[in-house]
Amino acid sequence: MRKGQGAACKKCPKSGGAVLVELALLLPILFFLTLASVEFSQAIAAYKVIVNQVRNAARYLSTEAPGTGYTEAACLLTNGNPSSAKPCTGSLLLPGFSSSGFSVTVADAINSPTTQSAQRTTADLTVTTATTINLVTVTASGYPHTLYFSGFLSGVVGNATSLTFGPISMTMRQIN
């Protein structure tokens, strides 16, 4: 064989398969990190959708009179459009919105007057009865985000197949 055509380097130490052993050790770790990153990013994306929809529902209710628009706000949150009748029109924005543990609650001056209705006070803290501030709060709770790679991530998430989000709330001032 001529020089440079496949002849082994006589001065180079033999790797003896060390590269394959290193690959075999690192590949599962890299695979695990990739799956965990994908799972985490999907959970963050679902959380962002819920936060945006809770904000949209609260914004919608802030333009309605106290005691009205509860069904429309719930449909806006889950389906993306206000519908005055159940079941809501359109398809669900996220699959977990149809689960039995997921709920949407609304608190306003009618159904929670002690926390959602307050009279303005002057600088000397005397109550002025002429002006009242009404608040509306929309809360989405119990959303179960399905873990798609839970079998691979069982050491991290245990035997869980879903991750349940805590309550997500938004409060806005309601127009009187």
Distance, CA of 127 to chain centre: 40
Question: How far apart are alpha carbons 97 and 54 in whole angstroms?
Answer: 12
pLDDT of 1 higher than 50: no
Strands 168-174 and 103-107, how do they pair? Answer: unpaired
Q: What is the pLDDT of residues 72-131, one digit of tens each?
A: 999 999 999 998 888 888 899 999 999 899 999 999 888 887 777 766 566 666 655 566
Q: What is the pLDDT of residues 131-140, one digit of tens each?
A: 677 889 999 9
In contact, 168 and 141? CB cutoff 8 Å: yes
**Structural domain spans, the chain:** 18-174
- pTM of the model as a whole: 0.77
CA angle (143, 110, 82) in 5-degree steps? 50
148 versus 107: the higher-pLDDT residue is: 107
Q: What is the pLDDT of residues 33-71, one digit of tens each?
A: 888 899 899 999 999 999 999 999 999 999 998 889 999
Question: How far apart are alpha carbons 87 and 105 in whole angstroms?
Answer: 16
Can you tell me whether residue 172 is helix, strand or coil?
strand
Q: What is the pLDDT of residues 3-18, one digit of tens each?
A: 555 555 667 667 668 8
Strands 127-141 and 162-164, how do they pair? Answer: unpaired
